[in-house]
A and B are shown apart, each in its own frame.
Chain A
Amino acid sequence: MERLNPRVRVVWLFLAVFRAGIVGGFLVGAALVLSETGLWANSPDLLVPGAIGLAVALGLVRIVVAWRRYAVWRFEVQDDGLYIERGVFTRIKTVVPYVRVQHVDSRRSPIERTTGLATVVVYTAGSRSADVAIPGLTPERAERLREDLRRLAIESEGEDAV
């Protein structure tokens, strides 16, 4: 079982804080608008502190989840298929047989580029698991994985991709 590069936590934490910031901003902003402009005539005094508290709590949950995600994430290039284990709340274990691989992408978002990481995405024709992404790989590993998957997909030489 291979684990992701620990630096992927930086990416996930950044995203968690960023998203929590947006949601929290909306929450606190809405509370401020309601209490300050008098749209809600006798709003409770705790409205704004409550909103701030909620925003902080949601943010903390996101951060914990992002941290935990790294501990759960695992993948393995097996004989017949790619095996992936992930999910903090709902734990998902997926097997994608190489026969079913349609194409493989490797991609790097801006945050991934700054942290020196890459993501490999494996596409199948399935309806539920049509694309499976493996984040948190070093560019060299991503390149190698993509090449391996490509080779394995060709070698398995499926009869029917669908």
Chain B
Amino acid sequence: MRKLHPLSIAVRSISRSVNVGLLFFIAGVFASPGGAGGTLVSVGGMVLLGIVVAVVYEVAYYERFRYELTGDTFDVASGVLARRDREVPLRRIQNVDVRQPVLSRLFGLAAVHIETAGGGQTEVSLQYVDEEEARRLRRQLRRGARAEGDEDDESVASETDDPSDEDEEELLFEIQPRELAILSVFTIDPGASLLGGIALSFLSGFDPTTLIPADLVDGLPGAEGGLVALAWLVVLFLLAAWVVSAVLTFNRYYGFRLTRVGDELYYERGLVQRYSGTIPLEKVQTLTITERVPFRWFGYGALAVETAGYAPGQGSRGTESAIPLAGYDRVVGLARSIEPFGEVDLEAPPKRARERYGVRYLLVVGALVGAGYLLATATALERWYLPAALVVLVPVAAHLKWRNRGHQLGDRYVFTRTGFWNRTTKVVPYYRVQAVVHTQSIFQRRRRLASVTADTASSASLLGRAATAYDVDAERGLEMQLEIEERLQERLRARKRERTVGQWFQHDLSSDEPTGDDSV
């Protein structure tokens, strides 16, 4: 049984002290009567108490934490008050992530997170071990998982048997300064607006009016001056948010590298914090190619590899991007090296789907005008009918939406595409399909349309982005449902055959290998 790195007490204590100390600080501020001399003492005392509690807890946590890598499981015994012993079978591991936040990086430590498809959150977190140990664990976990897992064909099997091949890295992708620059400039980080606002208010000394240049407003009469000042503040805010967003994105994807080692992908990224991890190729559920609007115009796209490892609510970690940004051809090339799909020739939805989008957008414009009219009756709002001009855009929008939707049932994969602003193409292997759902809303039924979803266990689709072919002909939709289902069975049978044959060949090598199959 191994223990965490002793320095992890320090790192964990500091980060916990900051949290707990902040909590107690706020509690102290609220609890103490304002303004008196005693306030500082009581607040300080509370903070100190918080820190002591945190340190004691972390020492106990360290003392209680044990982990061990056995032949086919990873065992962890942990818990200060409630104890927990956990065994994770190596074959069931989906992702292994190594994270180095700023503080732990200073101490040369790293956190190792192990994800399986079960459970609500990260199944195992080792916070923290030293960098060398993190590397060793990552390699060992992978080797263990591979030795255990059933191999699909001989070439992979022979590779597993030869340990010298183990660490041969093949560089698949490395972000170029130009790509990083474009990515930073055009990515909008949702957290950035908040941070930008905070930064701005600090700059102004918590008085936003100081940010407005006096000579800009002075010459104007009251109301207009106010409007200009407001617009000025909005521009400043957007500018701050944009700068913060660019800095955050730059920091996140700096030095992004993707390599392939045997049958796993390995990524690393980050400027201040370092993140790295493995994505086992045999666990890939879905490939997602995203072409966001400004990037698409320059011929760029992104690729995400989805596994079943992450739980809902783990935010952006739901999918680790395999490629944050690269030329479209390279993105597709890499996607093909992961799942060898052929030419993609998507089938567009029927033309009447476009009419449906047109009607939908017309209704939106109508609602806007209606809201304007209601507002005009209640307030002094004039020209409430102006939004009606948006009608001009309706056919364009409907056409663009229609143009960017499509689907294809290939030999081994289902392809679906949707979205104009954020065009997303999903590649789903048939044998990963969990269920096929054919839905028809009342509006779709009017036009004999339907949406067909090939549901997988991918954790990213929890946010409502499963592989769905929108607005196909209803009859065709039923055929598609049947076909996906049949191909799933066919692919499963084929894979089973391959595996059985593979087992005959390596029968002597691993006669005691479990014939039961790998779930998840």
Contacts and interface: CB of A to CB of B under 8 A. Distances in A.
Contacts of B496: 159
A30 interface: no
Contacts, number: 104
Interface in A86-127: 87, 89-97, 99-100, 124-127
B488 interface: yes
Nearest to B458: A127
A102 B163 CA distance: 36
Contact of A126 (B435, B438, B485, B488): B435
A125 B442 contact: no
Main SS at interface, chain B:
mixed
Nearest to B308: A162
Interface residues of B, number: 39
Interface residues of A, number: 27
A49 interface: no
Contacts of A125: 117, 308, 434, 457, 520
Interface in B469-494: 478, 481, 485-486, 488-489, 492
B82 to A, nearest CB: 27
A93 B482 CA distance: 11
Given A125-B308, A128-B461, A160-B517, A80 B437 contact: no
B440 A91 contact: yes
A161 interface: yes
A42 B488 CA distance: 65
B499 A159 contact: yes
Interface of B: 117, 285, 308, 431-442, 445, 453, 455-459, 461-462, 466, 478, 481, 485-486, 488-489, 492, 495-496, 499, 517-520
Nearest to A94: B437
A118 B458 CA distance: 31
A93 B437 contact: yes
A158 interface: yes
B456 A160 contact: no
Contacts of B459: 127
A126 B457 contact: yes
B434 A100 contact: yes
Contacts of A5: none
Interface of A: 80-81, 87, 89-97, 99-100, 124-129, 132, 157-162
Contact of A159 (B461, B466, B492): B492
A90 B308 CA distance: 28
Contact of B466 (A94, A99, A128): A128
A129 B517 contact: no
A157 B117 CA distance: 19
Contact of A92 (B285, B438, B492, B517): B438
B399 to A, nearest CB: 26
Contacts of B308: 125, 162
Given A80-B489, A158-B519, A161-B519, A128 B457 contact: no
A126 B517 CA distance: 18
B455 A162 contact: no
Contacts of B519: 158, 160-162
> What are the 9 closest A-B residue pairs judged by CB atoms, nearest first?
A126-B434, A161-B519, A162-B520, A93-B438, A162-B457, A126-B455, A125-B457, A127-B461, A129-B435
